[in-house]
Amino acid sequence: MTRIAIIGGHGKVALELSKVLAADGQDVTSFFRNPDHAADVATTGAAPVVLDVENATTAEIAEALAGHDAVVWSAGAGGGNPDRTYAVDRDAAIRSMDAAAESGVGRYVMVSYFGAGPDHGVPEDNPFFHYAEAKAAADSYLRGTSLNWTILCPGALTDKPGNGMVDVHRNEAWESAETARANVALVAAAVLELPASVGRSIGFRDGSLPIAAALEAMD
């Protein structure tokens, strides 16, 4: 059994991921900010733990992560407030990476988005700009760590049912890249078990191949 920590545990992707991992017999700890969400998290089969990563220190996060084998970052400020966006999606994410290294958690999976990076191309007057900047900084920092990292870059998220079928992006142009949150959870669970995904950023969307086959076909 693997001990897996999920940060941002009350988010839609995280709740789906907790269900998938717990059903697979994994030992899941799910961290979230609001104590009122404990019951929702517990129903997924994960152990609910309140942790405000926006305000927690690196040492506090490291203490919470101690004893785990892997961490999945699925937290986010939710947009609307640039200061909070940078505080959570960039600064807290980076602290969690340092904390993972400090506590001996070698495996780190980041849930990002399709198109993330310094060349994201989002105009400064677009409300999405601050999130794009924050994710670019966090993803870049993760790539520079010694962690066994994977960055997941799903297309625009939807609440459609997950069917376990995706396309992995290579070099082709995608006009549309919708991705069910449930499929994001399934991909996250899959890469945790896939050594070949370490050190890779994986763009994907709902598609035509079973997840295992799509990941095996990565260039």
Give the SS3 label for residue 113: coil
Location of structure tokens 């690196």? 58
For CA atoms 106, 100, 134, 44, the dihedral sign is positive
What pLDDT, on the 0 to 100 scale, is given for residue 219? 62
217 φ, ψ (degrees, to nearest 5): -85, 5
Q: At what angle do helices 129-143 and 93-102 cross, to 10 degrees?
A: 20
What pLDDT, on the 0 to 100 scale, is given for residue 170? 85
Could you list the pLDDT tens digit for every one of the 219 residues in the chain?
A: 699 999 999 999 999 999 999 999 999 999 999 999 999 999 999 999 999 999 999 999 999 999 999 999 999 988 779 999 999 999 999 999 999 999 999 999 999 999 999 999 999 999 899 999 999 999 999 999 999 999 999 999 999 999 999 999 987 777 778 999 999 999 999 999 999 999 999 999 999 999 999 999 886
> What amino acid occupies position 89?
D
Closest to 101 in 3D by CA, of 151, 141, 74: 141
What pLDDT, on the 0 to 100 scale, is given for residue 34? 97
Compute CA 39 distance to the chain's CA centroid, rounded to the nearest angstrom. Answer: 22
Q: How far apart are CA 170 and CA 163, in angstroms?
A: 21
CA angle at residue 134 from 61 to 34, to 5 degrees?
A: 45
What is the CATH classification number for the domain harbouring 13? 3.40.50.720
What pLDDT, on the 0 to 100 scale, is given for residue 98? 98
Q: What is the pLDDT of residues 55-103, one digit of tens each?
A: 999 999 999 999 999 999 999 988 779 999 999 999 999 999 999 999 9
Query: Using an 8 Å Cβ cutoff, are 156 and 177 in contact?
Result: yes
Closest to 192 in 3D by CA, of 211, 209, 210, 208: 211
Domain ranges, residue 86: 3-216
Q: How far apart are CA 208 and CA 219, in angstroms?
A: 17
Number of independent structural domains in the chain: 1
Q: How far apart are CA 156 and CA 91, in angstroms?
A: 23
What pLDDT, on the 0 to 100 scale, is given for residue 1? 67
